[in-house]
């Protein structure tokens, strides 16, 4: 009987222990994890947070076995599962104990349909067909995909793909469920539904739940027993979320705390564990209306300036060969030196619109004008020098081995001299926060770091219009802020920016205009605050107001000056970062 069988049959508590553990990737000279001491008990709900490159994903990979089996390196100390050295367990044994849903679920699909993928592990075990059928249906009901069993995986939305991936994990009856940034690619409503599903699954099955995530406020929509903060490969905080949220650990780690807590700090409200800061409904009672109204009376709001149109769409439609209309009569205008955000639920047509604008797809009808010139019939190559498009999934763009080579590759068709190439390369790497990683192999980067590499490879070409599909997905607060501040500087230099996003606070803080796309049509185009006042429209588009709106409504105060004041306070705090 091997160790995996012993674990499966022994009926012991499924504990995970790290004892003075350090790990150094084979390609690195310094350890990514340093002297980790951590115990996760059976049935616990544990949230792991930290900046990009802090080692939190590496910590998760040491749990599920990707380290050392897929990513070799130097291993010091112990990782124990039920007291047994994890290195003695094969990857197959580990997968039966620990079910992992990756940040990009497409990378773990095997079958063509939902049912085939869920059944894959059962087929490998030669489970009898009647039992297999019953198990697949049971797991599909548990993950809310029973109505999708015959659907192709490629036809699913982001949230549906994630639930299908979870189904493929649950058939193994793994005692531990591990999620690597489950909310990164989901719209706000799908994110809420995903967390509600995890909450229900854990309550019903009592499995151990480990979640690695950047979107702290969204993931805390369900309760956790512990929050672990990882910085520079070390655990700097480990406690109940109420303790961690009130002791300043997130600010010291340059992580974004829930927005309602930022509002509390702006209002000089102390945050204590007894105030239950992880529960927004309970914490709202800490706000008092009159002091906040008095403070707002001293605030002045900026006046927007007018600009000339740069990118114009007139009645643009697009359909695939199947005659399925994806975009219908889309008309919008993006002005020079402005930032337009494009929002809508998964499958609304946002990414397709970006592909039509950049030339990846040809518009079926309508006209696209850039700086007054009709570019509707231009080829991809012709548009590429003027309109840059950064895809949502960085793995679909990266083709080189190192960061420096990938960013340099973006300039290969520009015929620049060597000195200009080097100048652009260094400037872009520094602005995107990639200079310290310039010689790193791409495979050693986190998903968020890969995203910044793809952005840099387009920015280095200096286009007139830059389209970014979810540029902040998978980014920690520091790199999110640095990237958005960088994009703001590009905007001030006259670049026109179009950003596809699910981050509603980004829409409020940075966009000059927001366009809401629903079922291939523009349902709203205008300034952001007016959109957020339309709750019904947001709800139908799978979007939601931020918690700052919740605070303002709770206090019955004007939303615009309140949000502006809190945002400016956050920016002043970020200016103090080293």
Residue 473 in domain: yes
We report the CATH number of the domain holding residue 437 as 3.40.50.300
What average pLDDT does the segment 546-573 reach? 90
Q: Which two tokens stand for residue 337?
A: 């030196």
Whether residues 504 and 565 fall in one domain: no
Q: What's the pLDDT at 166? A: 83
CB of 36 within 8 A of CB of 235?
yes
Q: Is the pLDDT of residue 551 over 60?
A: yes
Q: What is the mean pLDDT of residues 95-115?
A: 84
pLDDT for residue 10: 44
Identify the band that residue 170 occupies on the pLDDT scale cut at 50, 70 and 90.
confident
304-333: average pLDDT: 83
Of 220, 255, 290, the residue that ends a domain is: 255
Q: Do residues 446 and 535 both lie within one domain?
A: yes
Q: What is the C-alpha to C-alpha distance for residues 267 and 572, in angstroms, rounded to an integer? A: 14
Per-residue confidence at 431, pLDDT binned at 50, 70, 90? Answer: confident
496-500 and 513-518 strand pairing? unpaired
Summarize pLDDT for 56-84 with one digit per residue, the tens: 989 999 999 988 888 889 999 999 988 88
Tens digit of each residue's pLDDT (9 = 90 or more) over 495-550? 899 999 988 899 999 999 999 999 899 999 999 988 988 888 888 888 888 899 99
How many domains are contained in the chain? 3
- Do 386 and 297 sit in the same domain of this protein? no
User: At residue 297, does pLDDT exceed 70?
Assistant: yes
**Given this model, what pLDDT does residue 107 score?**
81
Domain boundary among 188, 222, 255: 255
**Is 98 among the domain residues?**
yes
For residue 395, being part of any structural domain is answered with yes
Clarify whether residues 512 and 476 are in a common domain. Answer: yes
Which pLDDT score is estimated for 27?
76
CA distance 473 to 455: 12
User: Are 293 and 407 found together in one domain?
Assistant: no
> Is there a single domain that holds both residue 516 and residue 427?
yes
> CB–CB of 194/166 below 8 Å?
no
Any domain includes 148: no
What integer pLDDT is reported at residue 324 of this predicted model? 76
Same domain, 414 and 438: yes
User: What pLDDT shows up at residue 13?
Assistant: 62
Asked if residue 305 has pLDDT above 70, the reply is no
Return mean pLDDT, the chain.
87
pLDDT value at 359 more than 70? yes
- As a residue count, the chain comes to 578
CA atoms within 13 A on the CB side of 202: 23
Give pairs for 132-135: CB < 8 Å, separation 24+: 135/171
Question: Mean pLDDT across the stretch 6-35?
Answer: 80
Contact 156, 106 (CB under 8 A): no
pLDDT surpasses 90 at 12 = no
Q: Token digits for 61?
A: 């990979």
Average pLDDT of the residues in 267-288: 93
Question: In the chain, helix, strand, coil percent, each to 5?
Answer: 45, 20, 35
In this structure, is residue 40 part of a structural domain? yes
Supply the DSSP string of 222-285, one letter for each residue.
S--SEEEEEETTEEEEEE-HHHHHHTTHHHHTT-PPPHHHHHHHHTT----GGG-TT-HHHHGG
Which residues constitute the domain of residue 91? Answer: 3-104+173-255
Q: HSE (CB half, 13 Å, CA atoms) of 552?
A: 20
pLDDT exceeds cutoff 50 at 176: yes
Instruction: State the pLDDT at residue 306.
Output: 65
Is 297 in the same domain as 198? no
Whole-number percent of the chain with pLDDT over 70: 95
Confidence at residue 303, expressed as pLDDT on a 0 to 100 scale = 65
> Do both 40 and 185 map to the same domain?
yes
Task: Inform me whether the pLDDT recorded for 450 exceeds 90.
Answer: no
The residue among 322 and 246 whose pLDDT is bigger is 246
Res 2: pLDDT: 54
- The closest of 64, 61, 49, 80 to 23, measured between CA atoms, is 61
Each residue of 205-252: pLDDT tens digit?
899 999 998 889 999 999 999 999 999 999 999 999 999 999 999 989
Same domain, 198 and 74: yes
**How many whole angstroms separate alpha carbon 53 and alpha carbon 24?**
13
Based on the fold, state whether residues 427 and 550 are members of the same structural domain.
no
517 occurs within a structural domain: yes
pLDDT over threshold 70, residue 45: yes
Averaged pLDDT, 366-387 = 88
Q: Considering the domain boundaries, does residue 137 fall inside one?
A: no
pLDDT at 370 over 70: yes
Q: Where are the beta strands (DSSP E) in 246-403?
A: 309-319, 325-335, 339-343, 365-370, 373-374, 387-390
More confident residue, 185 or 181: 181
Instruction: Mark whether 357 and 475 lie in a shared domain.
Output: yes
Q: Is residue 118, in this structure, part of any structural domain at all? A: no
Backbone phi and psi for residue 9, each to the nearest 5 degrees, phi listed first: -100, -15
């Amino acid at each position: 009987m091997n160790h995996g069988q012993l674990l499966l049959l022994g009926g012991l508590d499924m504990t995970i222990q790290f004892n003075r553990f350090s790990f150094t990737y084979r390609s690195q000279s310094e350890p990514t994890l340093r002297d980790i001491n951590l115990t996760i008990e059976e049935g616990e709900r544990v949230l792991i947070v930290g900046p990009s490159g802090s080692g939190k994903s590496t910590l998760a990979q040491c749990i599920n076995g990707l380290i050392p089996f897929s990513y070799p390196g130097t291993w010091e100390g112990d990782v124990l599962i039920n007291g047994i050295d994890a290195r003695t367990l094969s990857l197959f044994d580990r997968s039966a104990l620990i079910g992992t849903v990756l940040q990009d679920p497409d990378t773990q699909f095997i079958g063509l349909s939902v049912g085939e993928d869920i059944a894959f592990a059962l087929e490998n075990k030669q489970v009898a067909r009647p039992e297999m059928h019953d198990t697949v249906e049971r797991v599909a009901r548990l993950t809310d995909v029973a109505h999708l069993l015959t659907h192709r995986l490629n036809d699913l939305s982001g949230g549906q793909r994630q639930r299908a991936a979870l189904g493929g994990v649950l058939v193994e009856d793994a005692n531990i469920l591990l999620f690597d940034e489950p909310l990164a690619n989901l719209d706000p409503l799908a994110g809420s539904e995903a967390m509600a599903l995890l909450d229900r699954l854990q309550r019903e099955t009592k499995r151990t739940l480990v979640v690695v995530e950047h979107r702290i406020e969204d993931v805390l929509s369900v309760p956790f027993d512990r929050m672990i903060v990882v910085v520079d490969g070390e655990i700097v905080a480990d406690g109940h979320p109420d303790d961690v949220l009130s002791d300043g650990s997130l600010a010291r780690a340059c992580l974004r705390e829930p927005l309602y807590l930022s509002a509390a700090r702006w209002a000089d409200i102390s945050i204590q564990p007894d105030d239950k800061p992880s529960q927004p409904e309970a914490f709202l009672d800490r706000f008092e209306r009159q002091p906040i109204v008095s403070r707002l009376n001293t605030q002045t709001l900026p006046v927007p300036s007018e600009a000339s149109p740069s990118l114009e769409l007139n009645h643009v439609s697009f359909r695939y060969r199947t005659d399925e209309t994806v975009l219908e009569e889309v008309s919008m205008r993006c002005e020079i030196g402005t930032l337009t955000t494009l929002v809508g639920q998964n499958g609304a047509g946002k990414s397709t619109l970006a592909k039509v604008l950049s030339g990846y797809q040809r518009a079926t009808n309508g006209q696209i004008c850039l700086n007054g010139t009709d570019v509707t019939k231009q080829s991809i190559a012709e548009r590429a020098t003027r309109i840059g498009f950064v895809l949502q999934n960085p793995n679909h763009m990266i083709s080189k081995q190192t960061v420096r080579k990938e960013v340099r590759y973006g300039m290969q068709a520009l015929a620049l001299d060597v000195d200009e190439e080097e100048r652009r390369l260094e400037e872009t790497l520094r602005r995107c926060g990639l200079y310290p990683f310039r010689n790193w192999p791409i495979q050693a980067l986190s998903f968020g770091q890969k995203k910044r590499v793809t952005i840099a490879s387009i920015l280095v070409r200096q286009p007139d219009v830059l389209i970014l599909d979810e540029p902040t997905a998978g980014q920690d607060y520091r790199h999110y802020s640095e990237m958005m501040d960088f994009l703001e500087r590009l905007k001030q230099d006259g670049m026109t920016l179009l950003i596809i996003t699910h981050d509603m606070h980004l829409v409020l803080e940075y966009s000059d205009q927001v366009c809401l796309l629903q079922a291939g049509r523009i349902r709203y185009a205008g300034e952001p605050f007016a959109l957020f006042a339309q709750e019904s429209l947001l709800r139908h588009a799978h979007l939601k107001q931020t918690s700052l709106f919740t605070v303002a409504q709770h206090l019955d105060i004007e939303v615009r000056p309140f949000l502006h004041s809190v945002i400016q306070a956050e920016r002043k705090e970020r200016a103090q970062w080293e």
